[in-house]
Amino acid sequence: MPELPEVEVIKRGLSTPLVGQTIHQVWVREARLRWPVAEQLPTLLAGQQIKQISRRGKYLLLHCTQGHLLIHLGMSGSLRLLDHDAPFRKHEHIEFLLAQQQRLRFHDPRRFGAVLWTSEPFQQHPLLVHLGPEPLEAAFNGEYLYQQAQKHRRTLKSYIMDSHVVVGVGNIYANEALFLAALQPQRRLHTLQYSDYQRLTASIRQVLTAAIDQGGTTLRDFTDGTGQPGNFQPALQVYGRAGKACERCGHQIHQQRLHQRATYFCPHCQL
DNA sequence: AAAAGGACCTGGTGGC
DNA sequence: TGCCACCAGGTCCTTT
């Protein structure tokens, strides 16, 4: 479900209601997520205050009094802030009881998501320490993407979706960014020029920024922390548009499988 | 050693 | 209606 824009939208939506709140109680109804939820989690978290919320790639980080809660939504995860009387839905695996009788619930049908605790500096967590730069920060630029590419001969799409290269670019936005940059997803890295990487970094930034501004992309069920869906879906140029007309040139959008993922592109615009 | 494939899950959809 | 195959926004681990 969530790529970088969706996680960013959730972060922004939950910051105001959550920062400063105390976690009074935690209920783990299903511990079998991507990694088992720590048995001690309820004990560890009880009484801790949420000091700050941030994001690293697709990880949402709740910085608490004595450590950090790392939340990854995987493919189908979501977080909802609910009133005290909200009935449990299926797949609501974890509940955080807050003051004012509000509760934050982690919902994830496919259980590819993760909820992890660390009391160490979070940057050094094994899942975060090897991540590439944030695409919206200055370290991610044409020079960087070009230099990294010299180490590989793989396809362009798998390259930009690799979180060790750059974080946050999932299948939807990889397709969209490649369309914006007029580059075919299956191109091999060594066939590209320096200027292609400059254009591509700009396109990645552009599509992620626009998606954040629109509140993210809702295909089936994405909502921010308060239940609002995103509005970026109508702006998608290629993703999910197989057989439809390219909005730039009118040719049909093609679909093919690349590395097991649905891949969309305009064979006329993208070279 | 890089790159592709498999695995982890549930639910929705479309075909027969 | 039922059954089945296939698809889905992620990413770590294993195999080639």
Which bases along strand B come within 7 Å of a protein CB atom?
A: 2-11
Give the distance, in angstroms, between residue A259 CA and nucleotide B4 C1'.
7
**Of A55, A52, A45, nearest in space to A128 by CA:** A55
- What's the confidence (pLDDT) of residue A31? 97
Q: What is the pTM of this model?
A: 0.96
- For the question of residue A3 being annotated catalytic, the response is yes
- What's the confidence (pLDDT) of residue A219? 85
**Of A28, A25, A50, nearest in space to A38 by CA:** A28
Detail the protein residues whose CB sits closer than 7 A to any atom belonging to strand C.
A 1-3, 6, 34, 57-58, 72, 74-75, 110, 112, 127, 163, 170-172, 216-222, 260-262
- What's the confidence (pLDDT) of residue A226? 85
Nucleotide nearest to A257 (CA to C1'): C7
Nucleotide nearest to A260 (CA to C1'): B5
Long-range contacts of A190-196 (CB under 8 A, 24+ apart): A190/A149, A190/A153, A192/A149, A192/A156, A194/A142, A194/A146, A195/A142
- What's the confidence (pLDDT) of residue A221? 76
- What's the confidence (pLDDT) of residue A84? 85
Residues of chain A short of pLDDT 70, as ranges, are 1
- What's the confidence (pLDDT) of residue A1? 65
Give the distance, in angstroms, between residue A93 CA and nucleotide B10 C1'.
14
Give the distance, in angstroms, between residue A76 CA and nucleotide C5 C1'.
21
- For the question of residue A244 being annotated catalytic, the response is no
